[in-house]
Amino acid sequence: MKPLPDNITERLRAWSDGKAAEASDVLMKLVYDELHRQAHRYLRRERAGHTLQTTALVHEVYLKIVNQEKIAWESRSHFFAIAAKLMRQILIDYARTKHRAKRGGAMDKAPLENALTIRVSETSFDLLALDEVLTRLAAKEEHLATIVELRFFSGLSIVETAEVLAISDSTVKRDWQMAKAWLHRELTKTNSRRCLSTD
């Protein structure tokens, strides 16, 4: 076996096959549950001038899950890479729910206009669009997508991301810039196209 994280990608691939499905469910549920709690906390703290730390969330989930004997984690890095992927799924699921609610107008009370949109300088986009574009980036270079998952979806700092991937801070910084630049460009493209077609 090669040292991690070279084969994280491989593991993640293996992760999606049937064998690991059960363990994945356990992890999914734990991350999911923890996320709920954290979101509550976030809302309280926000009013008290705090910011939400997704990193703390992931760390806590990590501490909680590593001892689940059913899940034989290869390493901490392995966990963080997986958690970031799950976090992406979870958050995108939320965004999707919200999107549906917005369309159907079923249950929702709050104004939703900007809830899902993220300011990108002059333009804005929604998380679902980002998810799509990110998938395209992964097809080009899985590594860059992983960095985005760790940074944006898991909230890891540059330093932490470097630790997880066992590469240098400066490499993470440059890769992060590359990923952002590319995603940003693609999103603005997508957005203008969307605007044309839907409006």
Partner 1 sequence: MGNWQKVREVFDAALRQQPEERESYINDTCGHDKDLLKEVESLFSSLTRCDNFLETPAVVHVADVIESDTGSLERGTRIGHYEIIEQIGSGGMGEVYLAQDLTLGRHIAIKTLNEEFKNDGANLTRFVGEAKAASALNHPNILVIHEIGKSEIAHYIVSEFIEGRTLREICTQSHMSLGEVLDVSIQIADALCAAHGVSLVHRDIKPENVMVRPDGYVKVLDFGLAKLVTERNKPVLSFGESTVGRNQTGKGLILGTVNYMSPEQAKGEELDERTDIFSIGAVIYEMIAGKTPFGGESMSETFANLINAEPQPLSHFASNVPSELQRIVSKTLRKNKDERYQTMKGLLADLKDVREKLTLDQKLERTHSLDDHVPEILRATTADATLQTAETSRGFSQEIKQHKPLAAFCLVIFLAGGVLIGLWYAGQKNIEPTAPILSAVFSSETLSTNGKIGHAVVSSDGKNVVYISGIRTNQSIWLRQLESANNIEIIPASDDVYRGLALSPDGNSLYFVRRPKDAEEAAIYRVSIFGGIPTQIIGEAGAWLNISPDGERISFVRGDGPEDQNCSLWIADAMDGKHEKQIALRSRPIRIGASAFSPDGKSIAFAVGQSDNASNEFGLKELNIESGVEREITAQKFFNIKQIAWLPNQSGLLLTASVNPDKNFRIWQVSTASGEASPLTNDSETYSALSLNKDASVLVSTKVKADFRLQLLNTNNPSVRRVLADARRVAFAPDGRVIFSSAMFGSSQDIWSVNVDGSGQRQLTNDAADDSMPTVSPDNNSIFFVSNRTGQAQVWRMNADGSNQTQITQKEGGSPLFVSPNGKWIYYQHSLNANLWRASSKGGDERLVLDRRKSFFAISPDGMQAAFSEMQGEERILTIVSLTDGRPIKTFRLGDRKAYLLNIAWLPDGRNLVYVLANREYENNTLWRQSLDRGQPQQITALGDEMIVAFAIAPDGKSFAIVQGVWRGDAVLLRGLR
In whole angstroms, how close is the CB of 52 to partner 1 at the nearest point? 6
Please say whether the beta carbons of 158 and 143 come within 8 A.
no
Out of 17, 18, 49, 113, the only residue in the binding site for partner 1 (CB under 8 A) is 49
For residues 98 and 89, what is the distance between their CA atoms, to the nearest angstrom? Answer: 14
**Contact characters 58-77, partner 1, x per CB under 8 A:** -xx--xx-xxxx--xxxxx-
Question: Of the two residues 13 and 50, which places its CB atom closer to partner 1 in the complex?
Answer: 50
The least CB distance from residue 86 to partner 1, in Å, is: 12
Binders in 110-139 for partner 1, by CB under 8 A = 110, 115-116, 118-122, 127
Q: Which structure tokens are listed for 8? A: 């994280």
Which 4-33 positions form the footprint of partner 1 (CB under 8 A)? 4, 33
- Contact residues for 97 (Cβ-Cβ < 8 A; gap 6+): none
* Residue 120: strand, helix, or coil: strand
> What 8-state DSSP symbol labels residue 167?
S
Q: H or E element: which one contains 125?
A: strand 123-126
Residues 152-181 that bind partner 1 (CB under 8 A): 152-155, 157, 159-160, 163, 166, 174-175, 177-178, 180-181
Q: Which is nearer to partner 1, 69 or 199 (CB)?
A: 69
Instruction: Give the residue among 153, 136, 27 at the shortest CA–CA distance from 89.
Output: 153
